[in-house]
Structure 1
């Protein structure tokens, strides 16, 4: 059984995360949600649960108005044009452990979702607050991007904000800019038997329907966690430049190490077997950090290749 709504809200309070909550009837679509909270100060979100051909899973969380082209996203992840599709309903219950219409970044709190990759819309950072379901679509909570990051870091998930509408070139001279977000440690899973045409669940079943919430009278307004981001977020070229900087490269490694350690020091782990905690944490860190470093090394290699290619073009002798 997965984490329940009440447990999630309690964890947010323990982390001192400010949020507003709105109770409402069960809803399944963003459109339905808009009828209840669309008039409030905040941004609606749509959340997709996807899989690739190797049975690796992804949650893509975007602003309701953001256009997400799965073909383009597949190429940017290095999966080819047809690499992504909607995950089957069976996987929704087994991996995220939430009902239809309840997919949000919060679903990654469950241990069964440890290997799921999360892609966040860069647009969230420009909003004062955003709406998500807290594992149940009979309630919506509003919080800002900084507090969402705080929650994700507490469960060992390093937030990855990307421009989901970007369409950078991908090819021999342009490595996929989101390749590092493909989960490399996910166990291989066979597709559950489905009837013809049922392998892809309609998008509305996986879209977070942050809708129809009833405003709680005592709710306090959500404070903006950070100033709106100005300009466009880094694209593929800026990502490469970032990893070409040794200081930023090391900083990224240290952040991932801290995230893995935090994910192991959970209250339930400490209460069970204190003497085994060090061994458990050590094995987990070795496994997860090794994979993270591998992904960083791939980006570093791609950076070196790209920069070398550019340098070669720049110093190419002019023809007479």
Structure 2
């Protein structure tokens, strides 16, 4: 089954509404943003991270215009020296390729061993956008439904104040 088809079928089974916009290949969030201009919903980037010893994996969803402060992430999560995970680890854990990291990769995480985090700055948005595990489409899902998706898959999540140095 094609990756986007897997995402759509999973959302359909969960009774989750979504909007898909098909477009040419987009390898960066900036490229994808160009194709979805004018459509309501926060543009996200999903980072797949690991710790120094590669004993834990983290999926972080944040606004695509923000930059991650790795020290702040470490401070909030206790992750030891977090860094971007390797392409090999991304493929092994989420079945995805670089440039196509998405929350929907959790459909491929048989071990349920990826910790999920959201930046608080995007949680009040009505909808979020992601690649549906391919980079020729962008999918919009209501934030509440996205949390339902995680719950249906058996994932917990945490909300981090990535830009609030007063924590």
Give the alignment's TM-score, normalised by structure 2: 0.90
Task: Please say if residues 115 and 157 of structure 2, whose CA atoms lie closer than 8 Å, have aligned partners that are also in contact.
Answer: no
Q: Please give the per-residue CA displacement for 1:186-217, whole angstroms capped at 9, x wherever unaligned.
A: xxxxxxxxxxxxxxxxxxxxxxxxxxxxxxxx
- Structure 1 Cα separation of the partners of residues 131 and 122 of structure 2: 15
- Structure 2 Cα separation of the partners of residues 29 and 154 of structure 1: 29
Q: Pick closer, same or farther for the CA change 1:92–1:111 going to 2, 3 Å.
A: closer
Is 1:155 aligned to 2:153, yes or no?
Answer: yes
Task: Please say if residues 21 and 137 of structure 2, whose CA atoms lie closer than 8 Å, have aligned partners that are also in contact.
Answer: yes
Higher relative contact order (CA 8 A, sep 6+): 2
Q: Please give the per-residue CA displacement for 1:108-167, whole angstroms capped at 9, x wherever unaligned.
A: 111345111111122332212111111111111111110001110011012322222122
- Structure 2 Cα separation of the partners of residues 4 and 152 of structure 1: 18
Superposition pairs of residues 4-23 of structure 1, within 5 angstroms:
4-23=3-22
Greater strand proportion:
2
- Structure 1 Cα separation of the partners of residues 111 and 135 of structure 2: 19
Aligned-CA RMSD value: 1.8
Q: Pick closer, same or farther for the CA change 1:3–1:158 going to 2, 3 Å.
A: farther
Give the alignment's TM-score, normalised by structure 1: 0.49
Q: List structure 1 runs of 4+ shifted beyond 6 angstroms.
A: none
Task: Please say if residues 76 and 160 of structure 2, whose CA atoms lie closer than 8 Å, have aligned partners that are also in contact.
Answer: no
The residue number in structure 2 matching 1:35 is 34
- Structure 1 unaligned regions, length at least 5: 169-235, 237-320
Q: Pick closer, same or farther for the CA change 1:113–1:104 going to 2, 3 Å.
A: farther
Superposition pairs of residues 84-99 of structure 1, within 5 angstroms:
84-99=82-97
Task: Please say if residues 63 and 124 of structure 1, whose CA atoms lie closer than 8 Å, have aligned partners that are also in contact.
Answer: yes
Q: Pick closer, same or farther for the CA change 1:111–1:96 going to 2, 3 Å.
A: closer
Give secondary structure in 1 for the equivalent of 2:26: coil
The residue number in structure 1 matching 2:107 is 109
Q: Pick closer, same or farther for the CA change 1:50–1:3 going to 2, 3 Å.
A: farther
